[in-house]
Amino acid sequence: MLKLRRPSSSRSGRAILPAKQMQLAVLNGKKSKDTEEVSARCEMEFSMWGCLLLALFTASIGVEGIDRRGARTERISGSAGDVLDDNPVGKLKVYVYELPSKYNKKILHKDPRCLTHMFAAEIFMHQFLLTSAVRTLNPNEADWFYTPVYSTCDLAPNGLPLPFKSPRMMRSAIQLISARWPYWNRTEGADHFFLVPHDFGACFHYQEEKAIKRGILPLLQRSTLVQTFGQQNHVCLNDGSITIPPYAPPEKIMSHLIPPDTPRSIFVYFRGLFYDVNNDPEGGYYARGARASMWENFKNNPLFDISTDHPTTYYEDMQRAVFCLCPLGWAPWSPRLVEAVIFGCIPVIIADDIVLPFADAIPWEEIGVFVAEKDVPYLDTILTSIPVDVILRKQRLLANPSMKQAMLFPQPAQSGDAFHQILNGLARKLPHDKRIYLKPGEKVLNWTAGPVGDHKPW
């Protein structure tokens, strides 16, 4: 089936081209393909006349659509197809439960740092959904139900979230919605979704061993979890979960952009810890030894600009680098991936079995470089043996603005951004399987499962 998409750069509100199988996504700052490519494709599949008309029309729109920077990019289509530009409006309806403010607003008031740390997606998703076009006020016609609980907002003095009360908070919220509304009991949460952006998702612990022991909160087993953590065959990742990128403040990132003709002169770039002496004094636990291995093997290598510095020019330096290392830390995901994608630096992902954000919409193997943890000592050989045209293609894919948009959570929301990708992911799971609807009185979830401490009311 032919899919011809011609996005154009325009102010919102342009007319949608009524053509066979064409969609014009109306976006800010989007660029179009060269019109020559339009006609080339046309000739293969359409009749000449239709093609000419099309080409003329798109030329008139497409000329404006060429990126003002003149960058060449490529369309991105993952296993689900070319879906990054899909518009979720009209495909699903979301009902937002109104919980008492002790679950959300009051927590936020207590600590406004929650708005800027990397777990802030749960807060911004709530704000987005409240004003979005997919929201419906009639729960009977909703496809998905959202529960706004800010479970990652209990911060220690140093800013890291403490997950000790999160299971109780979540349990208490679920008790509330199952008591007040009938929709939870109808499916025992199978058409509900929750945002759990913490280190190991709904396992609610920062230490992997403990998180695995706990497993996903039993009450959330049937719901769709939208989380940043993703690792294959891991307890804390359910099938059907949606992985999202961690929150990175968009204005801060955009304010550090440098001209794109600044030549990329750093080969490999990384800033961060290699050893976590506070929590892992012996070494070997943090990052499964991969970061330490990186340091020991490449600290003398001039091609590798790696250190534990915190330079003020961190973002600018990433824009001057060809490869940016994104190794795992205590958890396999990190905001470095988001930063690398936005700055056009090819991410080198060193985390075995990781599941990357929007894995069905974005073909990460074509965009990033995956290195097994055991191959870290040979990283320089691996990176220098990548053929140059593969590298250039990856850079073209990264230059695609829809790719960069999909990684960000801008305020206010723009089309194609991470909020929309989450909704797209939820829409792709529709329609719900009839089997999730339980007969009245039927119970699947075990409300007494889990550690005893979780049962204490919050």
Q: Which residues sit at the interface with other proteins, rule CB under 8 A?
A: 69-72, 207-209, 212, 231-235, 259-261, 263-265, 267, 279, 281-285, 288-290, 292-293, 296-298, 300-303, 322, 352-353, 373-374, 376-378, 380-381, 383-386, 388, 391-392, 395
Do residues 164 and 170 lie in contact, with contact meaning Cβ atoms separated by under 8 Å?
Answer: no
Do residues 204 and 198 lie in contact, with contact meaning Cβ atoms separated by under 8 Å?
Answer: yes
Query: 279 exposed, middle or buried (CB, 10 Å; 0-12, 13-18, 19+)?
Result: exposed
Strands 94-96 and 242-243: unpaired
Pick between residue 282 and residue 433 the one whose CB is nearest to other proteins: 282
Cβ at position 285, least distance to other proteins in Å? 6
Pick between residue 82 and residue 316 the one whose CB is nearest to other proteins: 316
- DSSP code, position 452: G
Strands 266-271 and 321-327: parallel
Pick between residue 169 and residue 331 the one whose CB is nearest to other proteins: 331
Query: 9 exposed, middle or buried (CB, 10 Å; 0-12, 13-18, 19+)?
Result: buried
Pick between residue 353 and residue 365 the one whose CB is nearest to other proteins: 353
Torsion of CA 253, 258, 262, 265, to 10 degrees: -40
Pick between residue 19 and residue 258 the one whose CB is nearest to other proteins: 258
What lies within 8 Å, CB to CB, of 345 at 6+ separation is 269, 318, 319, 321, 322, 323, 324, 398
Residue from 126, 26, 139, 134 nearest 89 by CA? 134
Pick between residue 235 and residue 359 the one whose CB is nearest to other proteins: 235
Pull the structure tokens for residue 442. 């039927």
| Packing angle, helices 121-130 and 418-428, rounded to 10 | 80
Pick between residue 108 and residue 266 the one whose CB is nearest to other proteins: 266
